[in-house]
Structure 1
Amino acid sequence: MNDFKQIAQIVKNRKQNINDLYKILQNNQSHPLIDRALELAELDNEKSNVLAILRRLVDLKEENLVQELEKKGLSEEEITQIKYKVHSLVRAFYEVEHQDLIDEIKTKNLLDEFYLALIQGVHNIGVVMNSFDIVWSKQILDTNNKILKEQFPNLSDVLEFLKQNKLYQLNQDEQICERSYGALVKIGTIWRFLPYAKAFENEVLKLEYEFDKLLEKLKNYDLDDGKKAYVDYIEKLKLAFCEKNNDEVIKKWQEAELAWMEVKSPLQIGHPLEYYEDSYTHAVALEWDIRLEDVSDFNADNFKQKIKESFSMIYENLEEKDEKLFEEVNFNLDKTQLYICMPMIFYGAELKGLFSAQVVPNDEYVSNIAGKKIFAFLNYVYENAKTKPFMKLSSMIFEKEFLDYGRQILFFNEKLWKKIYEVSTIGHEFGHIFFVANDSEKKMNESGVFKNIEEFKATAGGLVNFFLHEEEELKLPVFYELIKRAVGLIAWQKVEEVKPYYTEGLIHLSLLFNARVLVFEDEKLNIDFSIEAYERFKKVFLENYYELARHYVLKEDAKNYLDKFCILEDEVFLPLDEEYKEFVKYYYELYQLYGNDIDESGEFEKYINAIESGGQRGI
């Protein structure tokens, strides 16, 4: 009765229709939805502006829109107001799109009554979550964090203030939790920290109502163990959202996530799992979605075995030992559930960006009991990558021969592209598990920059796994992806929620320059894209990874490691090394000028035409 494969195909088809909006750039067409978004953003109908709107609507990325608004000289407050206006259009579009998808599934009788009630209930909760997320953002990001930023000169001062005034939530060990499900509220001159159920009382009451409606429906059906797991999880999730005792909040969320780990169906619900923009109280973002299992020939068991071997090899070569940490990591690796999946319906914070992959939960207490789930959106990311037009900035930075190497893989060697994704992205998610114990983040985040090295550690773990299990035909493709990505991450220099990826890029660049893979002189980036350069880089990279692993085993402050690569100047992390500091500045200046400009050389059209004419070997 439950035809998840056909539903997956419907989801793919509907996403492809949305991706096809990019064709208006190639054909110089107009579209009423894009025209309305341009009007809301007060932007002219120019290609760079249209691209920014398409990135916001199709890819859910805000930074391109912000860039165009900054070019107009608008203030931060004016930009924020326009972002909310455009967000309302994006939100309305996807609320209708998701309901239409659910209606199509109902019409075609692809699910039994339990699952139909489940996805409709998740959608109804999601509509509330969309409203909640706006209020959440205005209170936490636009108000609280702005006040704290003005009041205190740097991050460590804010963190000390929060600690001294007990503005936090406690974990199961009565220690300050490294994330929170609450918000600061200022009453006169006094700050208090309240759970979501008190800080956002109206929004949580609406959520409670939708949760109760869903649970009432689900309990009317015959429940096997798999369906009982959903009901148990949703009940506990409701209790977590509705908890008003600040000292009980973390415990309730842990109970919800333990129940969530027991849901093992092809249809997975995503709830608030991680914090992003909130650098101060680490308030967990209001994520809400369904991710659906996708078709793939990825051999998860084989990959996991290699990952375990790599971790053991690195650990054995370290002088510093922590057997408890070693056991925790291996337990998490053994218990990890891997889902190759696609986003089906999504709400809240996810209307400002979706994942290419995710490893959760972040609560190591939960993981020490139940392990983790890794979600990899393999086919979704691949199809999106082929849709986006080539950008002028890429051709200004990289030689055509270098770009063609990657483009040939993307458009004409799907199998190889997906192998690279396995190494870099699925490897990244497993890399997060390496060298992290129950108390690692708490001890290493004293200066508030744990995430700024953790994203590098994750990618590095995936790369080290590849270096220790090399496949000859993947060496240069993986090397290409690393170089291109490391350079591209510079664009996120001032995007708060993804700054950890920017600093990750800075560390990669440091090692690439150190290995003389990259040389910057006379405003030109020279790349040694050879197997010899790959071997030089591998040597430098492995040496650095051992140093990083030692740092994690000893659970030292993340700032001590980050300080070896970059320094904070005017709230921007910049490299210590002068050569590649100049390159980072050069790239970012070009990005500000040309970041939304399309490559008009006709190269993208050549690749598209080659595919449409049945070309398989490239051009």
Structure 2
Amino acid sequence: MDKITIENNLKTIIDYNREVNSSLKKIYSGVANDDEYREILEEFLDYVGLESNDETRLGAYFRLIELRENSLVLYMEKNNFSEEKKDEVLDLSYEYTSDFHFELQSDLIDFVEKQSLVTPFYLEIFKGVHLVGKAFNDFFLTWRNHIINGINRDLEKKFNNDSSKIMDFLNENNLFDLGHFAEQADRSYSALCYDENKNFVSKSYFDAFNFEIQNIVDSLDIFISNLEKLEDEIYNSKKEYLDYLQAIKNAFLETDVNLLVAKWALVDETWMQIKTPFQISHPLEFYEDKYRKAVAPEWDLRLKNSVFESVVEKDILNMYETFYKEIGKEKFRDSYNYSLANINRVQLYLSNEILIYGAQLTGLNMAQVVPNDDVISDKFGKKIFGFPEMVLENKRSLPFMKWQSVIFDENLLNNYRKYLFSDSKNFYKIFDIEVLGHEYGHNLWLDLDTETVMNKKTGLFKNIEEFKATCGGLVAYFMGKNDDLELSEKLIIDHVIRIIGLFAYKKITEVQTYYCEALIHFQLLLESRIISIIDNKIVLNFSIDSFSNLKETYINHYVDLINIYLSKTDAMEFLKRYTIKDGLYYLPQNEFLRDFVNYFTKTYEEIGNEVDNSISKDKYLNN
């Protein structure tokens, strides 16, 4: 087998996976119809202990097939489930979903093997990832229940949900990992635990979750041993894969919390050397933990699938240089050089996730930029992954929901659906601008300690960082060639639909950063008058003038944000310009905007699980 053959065979594997996913979408029929698919949904509901009705069957479909927990959460909140009962149902739903997809992925590997689609070496990559993935599935629930549902809730009760007081407590008691140069790290590879005196102590994952981590290590040993017996005659990357897997094993075995960042930096370094189309994900990158940024266990195998040619990097670089001509490179030389080097060394992989485990089973990424270690990125750059084909297929498969028809003006929603179902070409262009632009945008206006400094006082860095990332991609487009008004209008339509939809994340702790991002965008969209609110509906007012206003508004606010980053001001100083904290949740600073967000929340809580059957997808599919 040669390189051309194996890369052609990748398309066969991706096609197989697409067909499986397409067949899974048919299970949606069982939500409303008493057919063969209803049995699948009712088996799920029986396992998690919920009655079967239209709303729970929809929640079962979203959890099992779309990998989303929010529909089940909404149902349980409407029905006043206790916190303990909600946790129990979500845990059981994870167990069922992970087993369900593990079997499907076993079938995929059997297909790859029987069809001889890859070499023995890369077949072992599939099998080894799958073996280790099972151990990650077993680890995830223990991790979430201890950190997210356990320690973090204890901290919130102790300090009455005051994030500043929580951060002060963690800082004063040295409960963060030490990173490079013996300085406080911007993330944690450890967990807080209680000692015999009920005081908090920091423990490595190996000490805090010994059984689960030993299971991962044992699986890695088998993976490494099997891979050592084979040769990679296609990409000559055997050493790179083995170095990476060994580095992961060594990092998981480390027990000194002050050495964890250094050990995981070696994982980052070895991972950056793997440049084949078979990309094993980085196992600990996304931090759902909003206080210590303890990294969640995630694991997957993604195959390169270049469905379009990305051009956003050029616009990002042009924007970056334009701003620095005004700012003065000499004033912030370290930041200028660091961010520029990161962009220039990006490895971009448009891909499809084929095997998924751990945190990935609670929601797939649209894109991802990794690693998080800025010292490693300073030397080796970053990888950016985008999953455009999967995102498009998933968006098209989702049912139309009643809340969308209530919140959005009919023309806006109709134009969005026309574009979504009939214009793949512009969808990919917009994905490039808004999604990949977001990932490139993460790299800007930073140096080695920016996040640590901006996060230290209030722990709110991520609450503005997601806005910075998306805004970077948009502003790069606004400052570049944007004379295609049809594309620009579709971009704004897509952006508005996404941003307003993020209001649904208001009460979901793990993704509240995206909700905060949405609140800032919401103010800018209304300020520019490209949208308005008429009879509690979002109306789009796209014209040459309103688009010009939007560009100016976004650029001005982005410049303000750049100054926050370059001065390393605490993130709260920017966030409070747009938001207030109302109890547990953020709301817009502006009263008019606040009223609408509260209206959205009330509407979503009432009908968020109701399907809109008044309009058929056929209207758009046959357009």
Q: Which residue of 2 aligns with 1:396?
A: 406
1:47, distance to aligned residue in structure 2 (A)? 2.8
**1:34 & 1:471 partners in 2: Cα distance?**
48
1:384, distance to aligned residue in structure 2 (A)? 0.7
Q: Which residue of 2 aligns with 1:201?
A: 210
Q: Which of these residues, 310, 315, 320, is aligned with residue 319 of structure 2?
A: 310
Q: Which residue of 1 aligns with 2:227?
A: 218
Q: Which residue of 2 aligns with 1:536?
A: 549
1:422, distance to aligned residue in structure 2 (A)? 1.1
Deviations along 1:359-400, one digit per CA (max 9) or x if unpaired, are 111111110010000000010001111111111111111122
The answer on 1:112 being equivalent to 2:112 is: no
Q: Which of these residues, 68, 91, 95, is aligned with residue 61 of structure 1?
A: 68
Q: Which residue of 2 aligns with 1:454?
A: 465
Deviations along 1:1-57, one digit per CA (max 9) or x if unpaired, are 333222222222222222232344475644322111222344443333222211111
Higher mean Cα deviation, 143-152 or 345-354? 143-152
Q: Quick check: 1:22–1:388 contact (8 Å CA) kept in 2?
A: no
**1:580 & 1:185 partners in 2: Cα distance?**
41
Q: Which residue of 1 aligns with 2:285?
A: 274
Q: Quick check: 2:422–2:620 contact (8 Å CA) kept in 1?
A: no
The answer on 1:344 being equivalent to 2:354 is: yes
Unmatched runs of 5 consecutive residues or more in structure 2:
none
Q: Which residue of 2 aligns with 1:260?
A: 271
SS of structure 1 residue aligned to 2:237? helix
SS of structure 1 residue aligned to 2:68? coil
Q: Which residue of 1 aligns with 2:187?
A: 179
**2:28 & 2:326 partners in 1: Cα distance?**
50
The answer on 1:376 being equivalent to 2:386 is: yes
The answer on 1:160 being equivalent to 2:138 is: no
SS of structure 1 residue aligned to 2:180? coil
Q: Quick check: 2:312–2:436 contact (8 Å CA) kept in 1?
A: no
What is the TM-score normalised by the length of structure 1?
A: 0.95
Q: Quick check: 1:267–1:293 contact (8 Å CA) kept in 2?
A: yes
The answer on 1:18 being equivalent to 2:30 is: no
Q: Quick check: 1:276–1:498 contact (8 Å CA) kept in 2?
A: no
1:326, distance to aligned residue in structure 2 (A)? 0.8
SS of structure 2 residue aligned to 1:70? helix
**1:202 & 1:42 partners in 2: Cα distance?**
28
1:192, distance to aligned residue in structure 2 (A)? 1.2
Deviations along 1:287-307, one digit per CA (max 9) or x if unpaired, are 111011114131x4x432222
| Aligned-residue RMSD, C-alpha | 1.6
| Residue correspondences, number | 608
Q: Quick check: 1:520–1:579 contact (8 Å CA) kept in 2?
A: no
Among all aligned residue pairs of Structure 1 and Structure 2, give the percentage whose two residues are the same amino acid: 33
Q: Quick check: 1:318–1:550 contact (8 Å CA) kept in 2?
A: no
Matches within 5 A, 1:399-548: 399-446=409-456, 447-469=458-480, 470-472=482-484, 473-520=486-533, 522-548=535-561
Q: Quick check: 1:294–1:342 contact (8 Å CA) kept in 2?
A: yes
**2:14 & 2:178 partners in 1: Cα distance?**
40
**1:400 & 1:309 partners in 2: Cα distance?**
37
Q: Quick check: 2:312–2:433 contact (8 Å CA) kept in 1?
A: no
**1:238 & 1:593 partners in 2: Cα distance?**
47
Residue identity matched to 2:42? D
**1:207 & 1:460 partners in 2: Cα distance?**
38
**2:412 & 2:232 partners in 1: Cα distance?**
55
Q: Quick check: 2:179–2:262 contact (8 Å CA) kept in 1?
A: yes
**1:340 & 1:196 partners in 2: Cα distance?**
32
Q: Quick check: 2:303–2:351 contact (8 Å CA) kept in 1?
A: yes
Residue identity matched to 2:334? K
**1:195 & 1:529 partners in 2: Cα distance?**
53
Q: Quick check: 2:303–2:352 contact (8 Å CA) kept in 1?
A: yes
Q: Structure 1 residues 263 and 65, CA, compared in 2 at 3 Å: closer, same or farther?
A: same
Higher mean Cα deviation, 41-50 or 232-241? 41-50
What is the TM-score normalised by the length of structure 2?
A: 0.95
1:139, distance to aligned residue in structure 2 (A)? 1.3
